[in-house]
């Protein structure tokens, strides 16, 4: 499986997409200039990559690869920078389910405007922590703070308003069975905005196009493959243009090619939107290539937290066993 490649050691600042494409010899400066000129003429400007694909200068796959390279440089740059502002913070969060402590005095910070991956063994509290972030679960002890709002102190109405800043992609996609793809994606817009039907239809078609599902409007969830369901769920999460996107195992149960495509898609989305993203993933070690920041959650505690390139090199035997999938080590299988 390919991750972002060609990361120059000396990169001080990540290059722009055009620079990556010209640097790789795939396009000339004139082609980039022509695309930029078209962009300036548009009233609702498309992204350079989209224009290049439409002009036939790039294939969608080439664009995704270039974006991944661009992201790889950004990821390397992130490790050298001071930590950004915090979007979500846990302070001493404890949670027990069925008498078992799932989160044990967890302190964590999710950096704003970055992709954070939460990794750890199954049953380690990853999904539970994601549900705490959006207020679907309340901690037994401790505080969950989104921006400057502590979720535990909010009324239900205020909590619903905070949730409007979020979108969440659930592990099983959670598409509504009784609705087709178009209606599933349009649902949050119809329910939470006052947009007219024509605008909603335009936004839904555009978002479905971005996830590569332009022709699937009329299909129902039971007619979709696992990868398509994930992409529809991603489109539903993106269509409301949230500030924070939570992705619970977006690649679980998918084949390696679809997994790679979903990772490219998330990266592509991030570079276009700069949303704060939190991904729970078991796609180890590939996920390290697709995020800025990594949190390792083990037995209800944060074992490591930091830039992906730093955590990947951690000498901690638990982290190394988890990264290499080794059967021997501190994590006991049975």
List residues near another protein by CB under 8 A: 131, 134, 136, 156, 160-161, 163-164, 166-168, 170-172, 174-177, 187-188, 191-192, 240, 246
Alpha helices in the chain (DSSP H): 17-23, 29-41, 48-54, 60-78, 126-133, 156-163, 181-192, 197-210, 226-238, 256-273, 308-312, 317-324
Whichever of 20 and 245 has its CB closer to another protein, that residue is 245
State in angstroms the smallest separation of the CB of 57 from another protein.
Answer: 38
State in angstroms the smallest separation of the CB of 83 from another protein.
Answer: 27
State in angstroms the smallest separation of the CB of 52 from another protein.
Answer: 34
Whichever of 240 and 289 has its CB closer to another protein, that residue is 240
β-pair type (166-169, 244-248)? parallel
The single residue listed with the structure tokens 């190394």 is 320
State in angstroms the smallest separation of the CB of 104 from another protein.
Answer: 23
Whichever of 229 and 323 has its CB closer to another protein, that residue is 229
Whichever of 66 and 134 has its CB closer to another protein, that residue is 134
Whichever of 167 and 260 has its CB closer to another protein, that residue is 167
Q: What angle do CA 140, 108, 279 make, to 5 degrees?
A: 100
Lookup: tokens for 329? 């080590």
Whichever of 175 and 291 has its CB closer to another protein, that residue is 175
Lookup: tokens for 165? 């800043």
Q: Which residues contact 243 (CB under 8 A, 6 or more apart)?
A: 87, 165, 166, 275, 276
State in angstroms the smallest separation of the CB of 144 from another protein.
Answer: 15
State in angstroms the smallest separation of the CB of 164 from another protein.
Answer: 4
Contact between 298 and 104 under an 8 Å Cβ cutoff? The reply is: no
Q: Which residues contact 94 (CB under 8 A, 6 or more apart)?
A: 101, 103, 104, 105, 106, 139, 140, 141, 142
- N residues, the chain: 334
Whichever of 170 and 270 has its CB closer to another protein, that residue is 170
State in angstroms the smallest separation of the CB of 160 from another protein.
Answer: 4
State in angstroms the smallest separation of the CB of 161 from another protein.
Answer: 7
Tell me the C-alpha distance between 264 and 279, whole Å. Answer: 13
Q: Which residues contact 170 (CB under 8 A, 6 or more apart)?
A: 233, 248
Tell me the C-alpha distance between 34 and 55, whole Å. Answer: 10
Whichever of 10 and 178 has its CB closer to another protein, that residue is 178
Q: What is the CA radius of gyration of the chain?
A: 20
């Amino acid at each position: 499986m390919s991750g972002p490649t060609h990361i120059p050691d000396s990169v001080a600042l990540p290059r722009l997409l055009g620079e990556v494409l010209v640097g790789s010899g795939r396009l000339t400066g004139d082609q980039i200039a022509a695309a930029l000129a078209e962009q300036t003429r548009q009233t609702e400007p498309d992204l350079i990559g989209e224009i290049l694909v439409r002009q036939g200068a790039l294939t969608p796959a080439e664009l995704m690869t270039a974006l991944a390279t661009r992201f790889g440089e950004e990821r390397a740059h992130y490790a050298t920078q001071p930590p950004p502002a915090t979007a979500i913070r846990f302070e001493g969060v404890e949670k027990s389910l069925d008498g078992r402590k799932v989160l044990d005095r967890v302190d964590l910070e999710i950096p704003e405007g970055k992709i954070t991956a939460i990794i750890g063994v199954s049953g380690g509290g990853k999904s539970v922590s994601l549900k705490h972030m959006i207020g679907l679960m309340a901690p037994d002890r401790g505080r969950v703070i989104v921006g400057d709002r502590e979720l535990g102190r909010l009324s239900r109405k205020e909590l619903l308003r905070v949730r409007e800043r979020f979108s969440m992609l659930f592990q099983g996609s959670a598409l509504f069975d009784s609705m087709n793809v178009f209606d599933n994606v349009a649902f949050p817009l119809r329910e939470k905005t006052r947009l007219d039907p024509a605008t909603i239809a335009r936004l839904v078609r555009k978002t479905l196009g971005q996830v590569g599902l332009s022709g699937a409007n009329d299909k129902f969830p039971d007619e979709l493959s696992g990868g398509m369901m994930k992409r529809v769920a991603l489109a539903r999460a993106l269509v409301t243009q949230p500030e924070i996107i939570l992705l619970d195992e977006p690649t679980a149960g998918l084949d390696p090619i679809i997994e790679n495509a979903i990772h490219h898609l998330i990266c592509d989305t991030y570079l276009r939107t700069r949303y704060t993203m939190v991904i729970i993933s078991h796609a180890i070690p590939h996920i390290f290539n697709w995020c800025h920041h990594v949190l390792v959650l083990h037995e209800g505690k944060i074992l490591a937290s930091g830039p992906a390139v730093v955590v990947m090199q951690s000498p901690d035997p638990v982290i190394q066993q988890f990264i290499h999938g080794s059967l021997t080590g501190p994590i006991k299988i049975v």
